[in-house]
């Protein structure tokens, strides 16, 4: 099917309803704290109250919407599901390498919005015109303004199959490059493993690996293992909930913009390299525009369903033979050593990034951009 041009146009009635719901939020009492950390037991009540007050009174969605619509967008129906995406061609066609960038949860295509210009027209942003990409940025099925699957089975593997069809059958690229973190890492890894004749290379900013028995005994493995244990203990409650009962949580969140803001913003604070101050890295407008990709299209439940589907998807047991580049950010959820991954990935590029966390494209866009360019420069 031919890609259909698309613009994000949230109805006025949805925005009016949002403001009314924010005004009528029934806030809980703050839970008792052992210390001074207002985020100790989850989202800070005071911070979320302030964020929601700004959302209601100061946030300009129409301005954000116009910026989002400044780049060409399309809808393609693939395997019965509408996929929404930006498709922006390089300013220098002769140098263009097709690149699909895939987001995760609780992010959105907005994570990559401000990288479109530098990727497609590097010369206009202080770079080398030879590093230009044709950029494709799709919203995962069930996320943002993509369609919501009406049948089960849309885990990362099937999503990778759909995005391969998007790149080859819909957009006509015989070969293309991939980049992803979080679910985007899982999806693009599946694409690289399943379609090695089409994928030029895969760049990941989240690559999870585990040591074998001998590697785990090495002295420098200890901090990695301890961090993984801490994440498993303190940060996986969201995963278990969404992987087992996404509908129960989704009903509550679909009715409460404050609930979505608390659920998502807490993750942006905890998973980022921000020293506990989320606004040292992101503005309120950035946080809320990302949240709007869940609120406006009512996609919070369908997005959480990716966890349920992933847990039940038949593992492909893949090995990636195409070149893989890894950007390892210091505050990523789980950090791995290169040798823990090399048995299943053909890693040809590995960078220890000096700062940044889970949402690399929003948090440290210049550092991610530099590493993406450096890796794919070797494959042009």
The predicted-structure confidence for 26-39, as pLDDT tens digits, reads as follows 999 999 988 889 99
Q: Does position 2 have pLDDT exceeding 90, yes or no?
A: no
Say if residues 18 and 295 touch (Cβ distance below 8 Å). Answer: yes
pLDDT for the residue 22: 98
Say if residues 45 and 36 touch (Cβ distance below 8 Å). Answer: no
- Give 208's contacts (C-beta < 8 A, 6+ positions apart): 185, 334, 336
Q: Give the 3-state secondary structure of residue 200.
A: strand
Q: Which structure tokens are listed for 234?
A: 């303190």
d(CA 10, CA 297): 8
pLDDT for the residue 314: 86
The answer to whether 343 is a known catalytic residue is no
The answer to whether 358 is a known catalytic residue is yes
pLDDT for the residue 231: 92
Q: pLDDT for 189-207, tens place per residue?
A: 999 999 999 999 999 999 9
Catalytic residue chosen out of the listed positions 182, 203, 224, 282: 182
Q: Does position 1 have pLDDT exceeding 80, yes or no?
A: no
For the chain, what are the domain ranges?
4-29+41-377
The answer to whether 36 is a known catalytic residue is no
Q: pLDDT for 44-80, tens place per residue?
A: 999 999 999 999 999 999 999 999 999 999 999 999 9
Report the candidate in 364, 334, 329, 328 with the shortest Cα–Cα distance to residue 349.
328
Catalytic residue chosen out of the listed positions 103, 113, 164, 358: 358
Q: Does position 243 have pLDDT exceeding 80, yes or no?
A: yes
d(CA 372, CA 370): 6
pLDDT for the residue 291: 98
Mean pLDDT, residues 229-249 taken together:
95
Other Cβ atoms less than 10 A from the Cβ of 129: the count is 14
Bin 276: left if φ > 0, else alpha if -120 < ψ < 50, else beta. left
d(CA 238, CA 145): 23
Q: Does position 228 have pLDDT exceeding 80, yes or no?
A: yes
Say if residues 188 and 204 touch (Cβ distance below 8 Å). Answer: yes
pLDDT category of residue 226 using cuts at 50, 70 and 90: very high
Catalytic residue chosen out of the listed positions 59, 176, 224, 307: 307
The shares of helix, strand and coil residues in the chain, as percent rounded to the nearest 5, are: 50, 15, 35
Mean pLDDT, residues 321-325 taken together:
98
Q: Does position 317 have pLDDT exceeding 80, yes or no?
A: no
What does pLDDT average to over the chain?
Answer: 96
Give the fold, CATH level 3, of 4-29+41-377: Rossmann fold (3.40.50)
pLDDT category of residue 150 using cuts at 50, 70 and 90: very high
Q: Does position 252 have pLDDT exceeding 80, yes or no?
A: yes
pLDDT for the residue 33: 86
Percent of the chain past pLDDT 70, that is, above it, reads 100
pLDDT category of residue 249 using cuts at 50, 70 and 90: very high
């Amino acid at each position: 099917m031919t890609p259909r041009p698309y613009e994000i146009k949230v109805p006025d009635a949805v925005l009016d309803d949002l403001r009314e719901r924010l005004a009528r939020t029934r806030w809980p009492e703050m839970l008792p704290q052992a210390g001074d950390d207002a985020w100790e037991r989850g989202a800070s009540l005071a911070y979320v109250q302030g964020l929601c007050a700004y959302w209601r009174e100061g946030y300009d969605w129409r301005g954000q919407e116009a910026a989002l619509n400044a780049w060409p967008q399309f809808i393609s129906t693939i395997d019965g599901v509408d996929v929404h995406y930006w498709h922006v061609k390089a300013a220098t066609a002769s140098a263009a390498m097709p690149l699909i960038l895939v987001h995760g949860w609780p992010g959105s295509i907005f994570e990559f919005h401000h990288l479109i210009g530098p990727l497609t027209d590097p010369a206009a942003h202080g770079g080398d015109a030879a590093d230009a990409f044709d950029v494709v940025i799709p919203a995962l099925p069930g996320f943002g303004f993509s369609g919501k699957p009406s049948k089960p089975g849309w885990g990362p593997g099937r999503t990778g199959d759909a995005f391969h069809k998007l790149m080859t059958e819909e957009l006509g690229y015989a070969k293309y490059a991939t980049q992803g973190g979080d679910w985007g890492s899982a999806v693009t890894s599946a694409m690289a493993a399943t379609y090695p004749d089409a994928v030029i290379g895969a760049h990941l900013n989240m690559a999870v690996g585990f040591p074998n028995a001998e590697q785990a005994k090495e002295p420098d493995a200890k901090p990695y293992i301890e961090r993984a244990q801490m994440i498993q203990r303190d940060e996986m409650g969201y995963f278990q909930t969404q992987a087992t009962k996404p509908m129960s949580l989704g009903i509550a969140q679909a009715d409460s913009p404050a609930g979505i803001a608390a659920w998502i913003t807490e993750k942006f604070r905890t998973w980022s390299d921000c020293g506990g101050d989320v606004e040292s890295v992101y503005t309120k407008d950035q946080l809320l525009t990302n949240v709007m990709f869940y609120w406006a299209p009512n996609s919070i439940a369908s997005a959480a369903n990716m966890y349920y589907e992933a847990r039940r998807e038949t593992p492909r047991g893949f090995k990636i033979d195409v070149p893989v580049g890894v950007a390892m950010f210091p505050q990523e959820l789980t950090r791995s050593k290169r040798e823990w991954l090399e048995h299943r990935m053909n890693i040809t590029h590995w960078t220890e990034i000096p700062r940044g966390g889970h949402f690399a494209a929003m948090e440290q866009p210049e550092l991610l951009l530099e590493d993406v360019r450096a890796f794919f420069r070797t494959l042009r």
